[in-house]
Structure 1
Amino acid sequence: MAGDKETLLSMGFDPARVDWALRATNNRGLQPAMDHILENEGKPIPDPSVAAPTTASGSVGQPMDVDVDDEDEDTLRRLIGTQAGATSSAEAEAKSIKCSECGKVFKNTALANYHAEKSGHDQFEESTEEVFKATYGGREAAEVGRPPRKIAAKRSVKAQQEAAEARANETIRRKTGKDIGKLKDELKAKELVKEAEQKRREKLEDAKAKAAVKAQIEADKKARAERTAREKALRDGQPIIDAPASASTTPAVTASSSSGGTSGKDFKETRLQIRMATGGTPYTTTLPSDATLREVAEFLAAQTLVIDVETVTFAQHFPRKTFSRDQFSKTLRELGLTPSAVLIAS
């Protein structure tokens, strides 16, 4: 079967093993010969010149039941020695193919041909080195002259290095996270301090405004009580006994008012608390004392969509007073609203 032999040789199989496979399968075809080559891979090739002893009937494997003289015994011993020499020669045959250019060793001709196509090397020789095979993780790795134990040690070292790198990366990640968290905490603490300071200032200003309103209420009460006493004395026809006291008190009040007016002129800013007549949260702002009442209306209109600058009105409870539209052009200092005041908007 010259065609089968050429096909097997073109596939890269050793010519001697091809001949052995064809003889062993009695040239039954390509597939039986290929199966024989794969099944007997690595086994020594028997010498075709050594024939197995036959029986008288010509069958193989059964010894002949004949008498052997001394000459025939010497011939038989030489035959057995020849067969033993052939066997030892077969055992010393090449076990691999080595690339003379790069030193790599391959198990069969097919692998050597594949290496030649990829690398361009064309110098190969037979070698008695045995190719060790080891399987790790479901894949086969071929190593020449390197036991599987060394491969496992090498991979163990690599795994330890990767684990050390992973730990180092994790340490860096945690440190970065801590630094970012610390920075966020510092920013948050600064914001809290700023908010607390703002609330403290607002609370102090509210306290000053309430004190001013309370003082104004007490002054109005005292003035109304004196006026009521004088009017009653006039109706009853009684003399006004406390007229000198009233007179003396009036200049004091006037002086106090004048002093308050003078001190009011010294305030550059006015703090206002504007409450809606319909209720709700009051609006607090600080405006220059030279700002007009119309600017107050514009501020309130910007805070809510309900207020119209042209129709809004302002009033005070203490002292009770309603500001007309003509007073919208006057400043807060001229209207006596400094340094602080509470307005009712409607």
Structure 2
Amino acid sequence: MAGDKDTLLSMGFDPARVDWALRATNNRGLQPAMDHILENEGKPIPDPSTAAPTSASGSVGQPMDVDVDDDDDEDALRRLMGTKTSTTSSGEAEPKSIKCSECGKVFKNTALANYHAEKSGHDQFEESTEEIKPLTEEEKQQKLTELREKIAAKRSVKAQQEAVEARANEAIRRKSGKDVGKLKDELKAKELVKEAEQKRREKLEDAKAKASVKAQIEADKKARAERAAREKALRDGQPIVDAQASASSTPTATASSSSGTSGRDFKDTRLQIRMAAGGTPYTTTLPSDATLREVAEFLAGQTLSVDVETVTFAQHFPRKTFSRDQFNNTLRELGLTPSAVLIAS
């Protein structure tokens, strides 16, 4: 209706939204149109060509586009509109509204009565002679203010709910971050343990290498001293004493004087095992009653290139190779106590 449209435009509403509201409410009046505008504030305006036509009068049970939240709003709407009774010129009462026979509420048109029927479940209506007066400008502004306050309240409740959800999501995010941080710390601690173990192994290998180099230096010193002693004896015309014979006679004499002390009284045997292919020698101390097979098992535990079932051992001084049958003999029985150097291949 042109009058309702002009009134809505005078309130400052957008012309396109006014047309949408009148079209959506089937021109049922000023109040439904204003309710539609406020309810759909901020929503995009649909294309008029795609809007589905609806019945102007409606029927009981048909959903209508009326923003009446509860029965109290209906009562407030009726109070704002006011009621009065009119009669025809012949003295008979003329129907001006629709009244619910179950609760006594009066509605201006069929649309409001349909909405009341949907909400309350009432299905008994009758025509009434009470006429609902149109809203005055003051009443329109008051209703507009009330509806805006109601929308603001709904938005405030929604904002509070969103804030609660945001706090819950933030708590979940922080907990996930703590769990990830804890996992990273555990992985870092494991890496530090691995690094410390690697450094310990490297340090042990360095110590073994230094010991091997030191032993080699001592052997070189002894060899140079023996060579110097032989040269001096030659210069002085003195007899030359064979160092190897002297070295071999010394343990023999000692053994005879101590009744085989080297073979019986040494509980432990210190071994230096060198690989025939070269590399850092391995040093260990085993009981003198340990077998040669236990020596092979020790060496297999130090390097993957050694197999207990195929490895062989030999000595350079005196030159000797141990057979597989001797692997069950003890170090004392093989004459390797109290110390010996073995070549593994």
Which TM bucket (shorter chain)?
0.3 to 0.5
Structure number, greater radius of gyration? 1
TM-score, normalised by the number of residues in structure 2? 0.45
